[in-house]
Amino acid sequence: MMQITSQSASGASGLAIPASAVHDRAMLTGWQIKKGRELLDLSAKALGEATNVGMATVQRAEAAGHEIPNMKTHSMKALEDFLRARVIFIDADEHGGPGVRLKATERPA
């Protein structure tokens, strides 16, 4: 898992992302689950298979939009653990809304 060791991490555009803006264990929204999955170039079916969560459950979670999905704890934990190992989730702040980005180890070749 990537660790942020300084006060900020550098964004792809050269902007600093405060370490405090990066999610540690806050619940993910449906939008963040969907965007994280898309960054990894996975289908809902593939994410479901990788996490042992049904494809329909993944789709319902993503349909929650900017809300936290109402789903079983073990399903949400499986999705979050898989995604957080590969994607960085960034909180909304005064500069913009929430975001997602690939961890350095997950960048396409």
Residue 47 lies in a domain: yes
What's the half-sphere exposure (Cβ side, CA atoms, 13 Å) at 108? 4
The answer as to whether 6 is a domain residue is no
Residue-wise pLDDT tens digits, 28-65:
889 999 999 999 999 999 999 999 999 999 999 999 98
**DSSP per residue over 65-81, as a string?**
TTSPP---HHHHHHHHH
Q: Which domain holds residue 94?
A: 31-106
Give the pLDDT confidence of 74-96 residue by residue, as tens digits. 999 999 999 999 999 988 889 98
pTM of model > 0.95: no
Q: Is residue 22 part of a domain?
A: no
Spatial distance between the Cα atoms of 47 and 104, rounded to a whole number of angstroms? 20
Residue 99 in domain: yes
Instruction: Report the CATH number at residue 35.
Output: 1.10.260.40
* Number of domains present in the structure of the chain: 1
